Amino acid sequence: MSEIHILTANQMRLAEQSSISAGISAFTLMERAGHAAAIAVLNHMPDYGRVVIVAGPGNNGGDGFAAAYFLRQRRIPVTVVTLVPVDALTGHSKAHADKARDAGAKIREACSEHCLMELGRWLLRAVMVVDAVFGTGLSRPLQGRMREVVERINQSDRLVLSVDIASGVCPDTGAILGAAVNADFTLPIAATKWGHWLNSGRDYTGGLLDVADIGIDNAAIREAWVQSCGRIDKNDVFCVNSASVITDHFLGAAWPQRRRLSHKGCYGHVWIFGGSAGFTGAPQLTGLGAYAAGAGLASIVCPDDVWPVIAAASLEVMAHPESKADWHGADALVIGPGWGKAQASLLSSLIESDKAMVIDADALNIVADSRSLQQKLAARKQVTVMTPHPGEAARLLGVNVEDVQHDRKKSILALTTRYACWVVLKGSETLIASPQKDIYLNPFGSAQLAIAGSGDVLAGMIGAQLARANGGETSPGILISAAVALHGKAGEDGGWYLAGELAKVVAEMRQRIEQSGKTH
């Protein structure tokens, strides 16, 4: 399966160092990055004309000089506006600057307030601008001249390609460091960065192009993940086993073509514990989500006093009062939708069962308030998935919502560490993480999903995946991630505005995947 890796800035540096130790020179890595940037420019420039490359003081600037050389090989007029004096360039950046000049690129300095006029003059002449100012090398807010450089690029009204990451976007969190280049396209080098996906970073990235292969292989990237776990500065450690973006390949693996002789028992029985006075719709939506994702059977267990309401409203999803429900033949449980917070005793007994389970909604809040339930949950051996939104995640961690959202990737690892289970941290770019610290990022979805009931549908979909996983060869990571991705893809479609309608869109997409391997 093709993987799209995600790295922090430090992990990227470690991967580069590992590749250099393996025999690839730093000069060659820079040359390949420049060549990839030049190809991206040629593929996206709106017309023949001058390309202006704004080069910063570090390796990202060196990539820009290397790109200038390759553009000149195609006879493209190029001006490199360098933000450091040419005489101050050293090492590989200096070598690539010399190559670019020898190939006919104009090199102009914009190294002072006065010289910013030089930048403005060349931006007016450009048909396309290449941002090679900072890349992943920026760690503090932009101020003074550098901030003005970014603002002038944004005011130029020219198509902008950022090399690796838009300058001013924090590569680790996606936060905007004072100001950031508002790129039309971004070319990630060797791997994507967290800043491409999280917070405001995705808005400034523009179209994220395919990752440029510069010779840093999977082994170097995996070694970087391992090495980043052993850093001495524990405040900056981001320790993962892997981090990748969910792709369409996950969907095909999760929903293969159905066997002709299969029956409903082949696709699992999901039992949903939920519902309370005033909240009878949530477990029904969860049942629809389970069916939409392909479950063979779905049943609701609800308090006796609301059972008549739920049973009367549910045609496809079976409903049972708590006092009479025999759920022990379940393949997976979904616990919490519309449940209320008075079910701690029942939740405790369910956690003690040997069933794979999804813990959602009110069940999460019960866990957050009970140390004994937290200990039981962390001791479970079966697959357990928690599905908090940021508010629930904050309660589970004992922090503020702002703390969770500031660095979602660290927040989800804190949850998996504390509760020793799978976590789906919902929100824009939902994250999925395993107890072994494998993280999957969901790039699909839209603001249409910000509606009551959409999370209930997702909980049912994940429950269906766990029910189908019994005895299967597909890993929980693929199954859970595929459910999140399909939910997101359905959310991007128009023609629905109620969560029940969302479940129908999910079902239609899932059926197409099973029939053709594609959602459309």
Q: Mind listing the pLDDT tens digit for each residue in 31-72?
A: 999 999 999 999 999 999 999 999 999 999 999 999 999 999
Helices in 178-243 by DSSP H: which ranges? 201-205, 218-228
Per-residue pLDDT tens digits for 433-462: 999 999 999 999 999 999 999 999 999 999
Average pLDDT, stretch 262-288?
A: 96
What does pLDDT average to over the chain?
95
Contacts of residue 128, Cβ cutoff 8 Å, sequence gap at least 6: 41, 44, 45, 46, 49, 51, 52, 158, 159, 160, 161
pLDDT for 103: 98
Task: Check pLDDT > 70 for residue 232.
Answer: no
Tell me the pLDDT band of 314, cut-offs 50, 70 and 90. confident
Task: Check pLDDT > 60 for residue 235.
Answer: no
pLDDT for 231: 64
Per-residue pLDDT tens digits for 107-162: 999 887 777 888 999 999 999 999 999 999 898 999 999 999 999 999 999 999 99
Contacts of residue 53, Cβ cutoff 8 Å, sequence gap at least 6: 64, 65, 67, 68, 78, 79, 80, 81, 129, 130, 132
% of the chain exceeding 70 in pLDDT: 98
Per-residue pLDDT tens digits for 327-349: 999 999 999 999 999 999 999 99
- How many other β-carbons are positioned within 10 Å of the β-carbon of residue 437? 18
Q: Which domains does the chain have, with CATH numbers?
A: 4-238 (3.40.50.10260), 248-516 (3.40.1190.20)
Average pLDDT, stretch 226-238?
A: 72
Task: Check pLDDT > 60 for residue 432.
Answer: yes
362, with CB counted inside 10 A (0-12, 13-18, 19+), is buried
Question: Are the C-beta atoms of 127 and 160 separated by less than 8 Å?
Answer: no
pLDDT for 233: 58
CA 280 remoteness from chain centre:
32
Radius of gyration of the CA atoms of the chain, in A: 26
- The first and second tokens of residue 112, run together, are 């002072």
Long-range contacts of 254-260 (CB under 8 A, 24+ apart): 254/465, 254/474, 254/478, 254/479, 254/482, 254/483, 254/513, 255/294, 255/482, 255/510, 255/513, 255/514, 256/514, 257/514, 257/515, 258/514
Per-residue pLDDT tens digits for 163-180: 999 999 999 999 999 999
Q: Compute the distance between CA of residue 89 and CA of residue 360 in angstroms, rounded to an integer.
A: 55
Task: Check pLDDT > 70 for residue 236.
Answer: no
Task: Check pLDDT > 90 for residue 105.
Answer: yes
Q: Compute the distance between CA of residue 338 and CA of residue 317 in angstroms, rounded to an integer.
A: 16
Looking at per-residue confidence, does 292 or 236 come out higher?
Answer: 292
pLDDT for 495: 86
Task: Check pLDDT > 80 for residue 310.
Answer: yes
pLDDT for 411: 96
Helices in 280-354 by DSSP H: which ranges? 281-292, 307-313, 344-351
pLDDT for 1: 46
Task: Check pLDDT > 90 for residue 3.
Answer: no
- Phi, psi values for residue 501, rounded to 5°: -70, -35
pLDDT for 245: 98
* Element of type H or E holding 483: helix 476-492
Average pLDDT, stretch 298-322?
A: 96
Q: Compute the distance between CA of residue 442 and CA of residue 444 in angstroms, rounded to an integer.
A: 6
What b/e readout covers 267-289, taking b as 16+ CB neighbours within 10 angstroms?
bbbbbbbbbbeebbbbbbbbbbb
Q: Compute the distance between CA of residue 43 and CA of residue 357 in angstroms, rounded to an integer.
A: 48
Task: Check pLDDT > 90 for residue 229.
Answer: no
Per-residue pLDDT tens digits for 450-508: 999 999 999 999 999 999 875 567 899 999 999 999 999 999 998 899 999 999 999 99
- The first and second tokens of residue 94, run together, are 């200096």
- How many other β-carbons are positioned within 10 Å of the β-carbon of residue 421? 20
Q: Which residue type does 45 have?
A: M
- The first and second tokens of residue 335, run together, are 């616990």
What are the residues facing 299 on neighbouring strands?
Answer: 271, 318
* Element of type H or E holding 193: strand 192-193
